[in-house]
Structure formats: structure tokens, C-alpha cells
Amino acid sequence: MPYFNNNGTQLYYEVKGEGEVAILITHGFGDTSLTWKHQIDFLSEKYKVIIWDLRGHGRSDSPSDIEEYSEALTLSDMNKLLDTCDVEKAVISGLSLGGYMSLAFNITNSERVQALMLFDTGPGFRNDKARDDWNQFSISKADRLEGGELKEGSEHFSQQGLANSARGMLTQDDAKVMNSLSTIAVPTLVLVGENDKPFFNACDHMAKKIPMAKKVVLEGAGHSANIDQPKAFNEAVLSFLRESGF
């Protein structure tokens, strides 16, 4: 199985396809790269598709030190993964936490971003109280995982790794991602499942604030739109990429 090493942490990844345009896809919290099983074969017919397991997830390492889990380290992982795959620029995309990290990546590494695809995600919070509530939710999620919440038959190697991810990667510190939306200078797909009500307002906001945004509401889909309606999801992604000249 292929792994790349970022400062001592081994992270699982897969690459499929030989297209000139690369697509880096990041899964959400509690998921793994397997969530893209309906996308990788389809998209790799034309594009170079890169999927991976976030630290603390799936087949990637789960460091014991909570300091090894953060937004900054996740962005470092994404950078190292692109380097490992010999990719200078890519379409940066992700679902939920993966979408948020894609937006954060665009702030620090915009020179490597050809386009953004944001699936069932949000840009964080400008309101401190709303952010505090989200962080409390994330910490309570970590508490439940440490108490044994992980489902039997899970794809994850480490329950503690997921708990550490919730504390260090799911929590947020500021509104920089929210404040960056109007500065995004690449084509952006904002896709949300019609049943993913908690993310409607966030997706509306992103679609209005991002200058070159295209919004798609996927019928019959919830938060995991790529799994709920894989054919319609793939068609929406391919349509966006073609319209954007990729």
C-alpha cells in the first residue's frame, strides 16, 4: 500500500489516472479515502485523481500526541502529498472537514490551486459564540469516541486517533476562512445535498461570496452526497470541470 511520510507521520494515499489535470480529494471527519470509491474510477478516465486518509483516520498513522493534530499540519500534509505525486497545481476538493481544509489550503497555498470543489461543507464562523458552540460539539464528539463510540467493523485503525482529530482538526480558532471567500480567484463548485439542511446556509453564503462560484443542490442526497447519489454527483463534478476548462 502506498504511503508518504510527513515529518515522521505515515499517511495513506492512492493515485489513479494519468490526466494532465490533477484532483486532490479530501474526505470528511470520521470517513476515509474509501468514501470516494464511486468517484475515483469515473474521474480517473480523464484526470489524475489523488485520494488519501487524513492523519488519525483509516490507514494513516494516529500519533498519540494531540499536538500532532491541527489545521496547519493537515495543510502541510496536503502540500507534501502534492509533492509526493509530483503535482505542482491541482483542483483542490473535499467533503465537510475536507472542504473546510480545502478552503484553508487556498489561503496558504493559492499558487497550487487551479480550482476548488466544496462538497457539503462550510467556511467556519464569524460569530465567536457560534464557533464556541461548534468547538464544544467537536470536543463532545471526542469524548464519546474515547468512551467507545466507534462502530464495530470500522475502517479506522485507531479510536484515539479519531478523538485527537476531533479535538485538534475539527475545532476552529478564528474566522480567517470565512473572511477569505471574497478573495478566492479560481472557479469554485459549491455542492450540497438537498437533505443536508444544516449546511444550506453555509453553502448559500459561499456561493454568494466566492466570485466564480457555481452552486449545485443534489436531489435525493444528504451530507454524503457522493455516496447518496453517486451518478448525479459525478455528472455535476464533470460538468463543472469541463465548464472551467479542465
Domain boundaries, the chain: 3-123+177-243
Enter the pTM of the model: 0.95
Q: What is the pLDDT of residues 117-167, one digit of tens each?
A: 999 999 999 999 999 999 999 999 999 988 776 554 456 567 889 999 999
CATH 3.20.20.10 is right for the domain spanning 3-123+177-243: no
Q: What percent of the chain has pLDDT over 70?
A: 96
Residue 87 predicted with pLDDT over 70: yes
Residue 146: alpha-carbon gap to chain centroid: 23
Q: What is the pLDDT of residues 169-209, one digit of tens each?
A: 999 999 999 999 999 999 999 999 999 999 999 999 999 99
Residues with Cβ < 8 Å from 151, sequence gap 6 or more?
none
Burial of 58-96, coded b for 16+ CB within 10 Å and e otherwise, reads bbbbbbeeeebbbbebbbbbbebbbebbebeebbbbbbb
